[in-house]
Amino acid sequence: MDSLEKHHPKHLFDPTRAASLLDPQRRLIADPLEVVKTMGIVSGMRVVELGCGAGFFTHALLEAVGDGGRVVALELQEAMLALLQERLASHPRLEIRLANLLESGLETGGWDAVFVAFTLHEVAVEAALLEIRRILRPGGLLSILDWGYAQGCPEREPGRKAGPPEAERLLPDLLRRQLRESGWRETAYGERMDGCHYWVNAR
């Protein structure tokens, strides 16, 4: 891949805005459980959620995997985890882990699925894909949700679209090609709100 066409992460989510990540209206996602189920998270899975932030999707992941499954919610910034800990710290099937997803420290090959929402655009994608490959069991599911083209997004306020500026997004064409070129097989692709959000599954 031409190096000019690689994704260069340009921001890290501001932890003072952690609470905004829990507001379904701001997130444009009324039903996180429906989203994670659509993305292939099913009963009994052992799931790693990378960049869980304040935990907007964590409860939905726990519900989707049910009693036979478990979830590790991993996050780089301690301040982001405070809200998740308040709500779910004592959940018996959840482990909360403060770590860099590029060096997760998680068991090799021990996980059925890796779920990454609105986070991959903040990291070096190639390195992240290597670490994800390491922790997934052979044939395990990588499920990514992120910001697509700004054009499809509603306006937050006049003249300002929801989501990060388009130059800071990891747009679907680039990610899908990067997945292919790193040996992943795309198994599903979908868009929400005219491409404002997209999701990709790969194995």
Ligand X SMILES: C[S@@+](CC[C@H](N)C(=O)[O-])C[C@H]1O[C@@H](n2cnc3c(N)ncnc32)[C@H](O)[C@@H]1O
- What is d(CA 95, CA 183) in angstroms, rounded to the nearest whole number? 30
3-state helix, strand, coil in the chain (%, to 5): 35, 25, 35
Least distance to ligand X from the beta carbon of 57, Å?
6
On the CB side of 46, CA atoms within 13 Å amount to 12
| 67 versus 128: smaller Cβ distance to ligand X | 128
Q: Are 64 and 73 in contact (CB under 8 A)?
A: no
Residue least distant from ligand X (Cβ): 53
Least distance to ligand X from the beta carbon of 168, Å?
11
Least distance to ligand X from the beta carbon of 181, Å?
21
| 45 versus 48: smaller Cβ distance to ligand X | 48
DSSP state of 42: -
Bridge partners of 46? Answer: 70
Point out which residues bind ligand X (CB under 6 A): 12-13, 21, 51-53, 56-57, 74-77, 80, 100-102, 117-119, 122-123
| 67 versus 95: smaller Cβ distance to ligand X | 95
- What is d(CA 180, CA 201) in angstroms, rounded to the nearest whole number? 12
Least distance to ligand X from the beta carbon of 179, Å?
18
Least distance to ligand X from the beta carbon of 148, Å?
15
| 68 versus 128: smaller Cβ distance to ligand X | 128
CB atoms within 10 A of CB 187: 13
What SS3 state is found at 10? coil
| 184 versus 199: smaller Cβ distance to ligand X | 199
